[in-house]
Structure 1
Amino acid sequence: MDTILTINNLTKKFGYLTAVKDLSFTINKGNVYGILGPNGSGKSTTLGIVLNVVNKTEGNFHWFDGNTTTHDALKKVGAIIERPNFYPYMSAYENLKLVCKIKGIDYSKIDEKLEIVGLEERKNSKFKTYSLGMKQRLAIASALLNDPEILILDEPTNGLDPQGIHQIRSLIKDIAKDGTTILLASHLLDEVEKVCSHVVVLRKGEKLYSGRVDEMISSHGFFELKTDKASELKALIESHASFSKIKEEGELITAFLNEPMNASDFNTLLFNKGIVLSHLVQRKESLEEQFLQLTDNLEQN
């Protein structure tokens, strides 16, 4: 598998504050990666370091095979790490012409990229007439002009309305389908769950997890249960090897699985023991619950 970016033991200190601490992860070609964490977790600092706009304190990183200088490698990278900065009284097309001039890119790319982001019909409209979502899509078109191997986006849906959020997320998925690797920083669990295949979870500059989103925690979900025989049900669950813990809220009993089990098998087992359920729902923990679990585990260690 082709490696796009390798980060080894990266640390960044601003005076007494450690923004990024001993961070290591690898980005491979063809996936959508999310750097997930609350504000102040080191996401933007990490992106700034690999894009050569922030100096690292310790550790190292390299692009592609490691034999390319960062300066040359960044010619194959498209990035938006701040709010788009276009001229308000110029059209979208004219603004992109300026970007092409600066980067030495042929103007023929402009229409192609405007079509990808759905702005072809508004290409002659002044930038100041654009909605926030359209401005963000124009910024993505600008970042795609050099046909980058990786597109880096910092909080791409920040400040957008629900329609704008939906459009940007759909656009990210479409760009990824065409083979472009994407790295996005987000504090939104929902965003990472919907858009990313892989995630690096940061808190206070430290990595809590790195890997596939669907394997973030080996969670097998839980059953929500109600029965007239609550004490018998709890006793059975507590003695059964498939369950890790049990939670009780009023009549509702929640039983957490530590290995796969389907609802019908569990229902049959209980029925054979004389326990009839009036309520049985099987659920999987959301990324949010898993994220909280990861955070709790870190605090306990």
Structure 2
Amino acid sequence: MEPILTINNLTKKFGFLTAVNDLSFTINKGNVYGILGPNGSGKSTTLGIVLNVVNKTSGNFKWFNGTVDTHDALKKVGAIIERPNFYPYMTAAQNLKLVCKIKGVDYAKIDEKLEVVNLLDRKDHKFSTYSLGMKQRLAIASALLNDPEILILDEPTNGLDPQGIHQIRQIIKEIANQGTTILLASHLLDEVEKVCSHVVVLRKGVKLYSGRVDEMISSHGFFELKCDKQEHLLEYLKSNPDFGTIKVENDLITAFLNEPMDAVTFNKLMFEKGMVLSHLVKRKESLEEQFLQLTDKL
């Protein structure tokens, strides 16, 4: 895989606060990466460092395998890390013309990128008449004008209504399908699960997981159980290495599997041990459950 961005042992301290703590991961070409974590986990700080708007404390990063310096590399990057800042009294096309002048891009790109974000029919409307979702889509069009190899988005659906969220996510998928690598920061598990192929999970600046989304949620799942001999069942589950985390809520036992096991096998095993289950359901872990298990460890 061809690396676009490599981060090695990156640390950023603001006084006594460590916002990013010894962070390392690699972004390879052609994937959609999500940096996932709650507010204050270091997502925006990490993006700020690699975009040269925040100074690192220690560690390093390199763009495009170190073949170009950061200044030149950023010419191949499109980024939105703050709210769109366009002139309200100018039209979408006029605003993008200014961006083209700054980036040295041909005006012919304007219609092409407005079409990508479904705003071509509104190109002569003033920015002040745009909804929040349309403003965000215009910002994406602006970031795409220089045909970047990677598009960086910080909380791209923040504050949008459900329709606006859906539109932005569809646009991100379409851009990725055209071969552009995408790196987005989000606190929304649903967003990462639906949009991203890879995820880096952060909490308090520390990396908890880095890898494919489907591998993160490809655990062996869990059983939801009820039994008239609940204490005996709990004792068995806790002593059995096939099971990991055991949770009890009201009368429902949730037992996470360390090894593959189907419901029929488990039901038969319990019957042989004199325990009759009144409730047995096997479920697959969601990204949310995996995320909660990861963050519970800190």
Q: Could you tell which deviates more after superposition, 205-214 or 144-153? A: 205-214
Which stretch of the first structure deviates more once superposed, 265-274 or 146-155? 265-274
Q: Give a deviation string over 1:160-191, Cα, whole Å, max 9, x none.
A: 11111111111111111111110011122222
User: Once the 2 structures are TM-superposed, how far is the Cα of residue 2 of structure 1 from its aligned partner?
Assistant: 0.6
Aligned residues: 298
In structure 1, what is the Cα distance between the partners aligned to 2:88 and 2:39? 29
- SS of the equivalent of 2:107 reads coil
Residues 1-301 of structure 1: pairs in structure 2 closer than 5 A:
1-216=1-216, 219-228=219-228, 230=230, 233-234=233-234, 237-238=237-238, 240-270=240-270, 275-298=275-298
Q: Find the residue that maps to 2:297 and give its secondary structure.
A: helix
CA distance in 1, matches of 2:272, 2:14: 63
Retained in 1: the 8 A contact 2:217–2:285? no
Please give the alpha-carbon distance, in whole angstroms, between the structure 2 residues aligned to 1:115 and 1:255: 49
1:238 and 1:46 map into 2 onto residues whose CA distance is 40
The CA deviation at 1:3 is 0.4
Q: Which runs of 5+ in 2 are unaligned?
A: none
Name the TM-score, length of structure 1 as normaliser: 0.91
The one-letter code of the counterpart of 2:22 is: D
Letter matched to residue 126 of structure 1: K
Q: CA–CA distance in 2 between the matches of 1:144 and 1:156?
A: 14
Indicate the larger mover: 154-163 or 240-249. Answer: 240-249
Counterpart Cα distance in 1 of 2:217 and 2:98: 46
Task: Tell me the TM-score normalized by structure 2.
Answer: 0.92
Identity of aligned residues (%): 82
Amino acid at match of 1:119: L
Over the aligned positions, Cα root-mean-square deviation in angstroms equals 2.1
Secondary structure of 1:223 counterpart: strand
- Alignment-mate amino acid for residue 151 of structure 1: L
Question: Equivalents in 2 of 1:238, 1:67: separation in Å?
Answer: 53
Q: Describe the superposition over 1:178-231 as per-residue Cα deviations: whole angstroms up to 9, x where unpaired.
A: 111100111222221221111112222222221122333763221112344545
Sort the Cα spacing of 1:232 and 1:54 in 2 relative to 1 into closer, same or farther, 3 A: closer
Indicate the SS of the match to 1:65: helix
Give yes or no for contact 2:6–2:65 (8 Å, CA) kept in 1.
no
Provide the rounded CA distance (Å) in 1 between the counterparts of 2:41 and 2:175: 27
The aligned amino acid for 2:215 is: E
Q: Which runs of 5+ in 1 are unaligned?
A: none
How much does 1:276 deviate? 4.7
